[in-house]
A = this chain, B = another copy of it.
């Protein structure tokens, strides 16, 4: 899948996987790939800046840890982040339903 289709929905995905439990960036990428059945394989250059953005917006908080010589920045969902997740989830539902309605009337190309 072309990744750029993510536009506007990346935050929802990131918040969703972190809602499941605190995670560091690399783990977020892996988790997203797993849960989406390989559909989402996001480049680091997409995820890290987005996490910074979400932290700045107070949707996530972070802390450093050192695990066997590797430094990790682990992100946790804040209260605001949890609320945002709920809202974004609803708006995703509305959005996808609306698209579905528009598409409903359109016939698929003839496949005899």
- Measured CB to CB, the residues of A under 8 A from B are 1-2, 4-9, 12-13, 16-17, 19-20, 32, 35-37, 39-40, 82-83, 85-86, 89, 91-92, 94-99, 101-106, 108-109
Contacts and interface: CB of A to CB of B under 8 A. Distances in A.
Contacts of A9: 5, 99
A106 B13 CA distance: 10
Contact of A16 (B7, B13, B32, B102): B102
State the copy count for this chain. 2
Contacts of A103: 12, 16, 89, 92
Contact of A20 (B39, B105, B109): B105
21 contacts: A1-B98, A5-B8, A5-B9, A5-B91, A5-B95, A6-B8, A8-B8, A13-B102, A16-B102, A20-B106, A32-B102, A35-B104, A36-B99, A36-B101, A37-B98, A37-B101, A39-B94, A39-B101, A40-B98, A86-B109, A89-B103
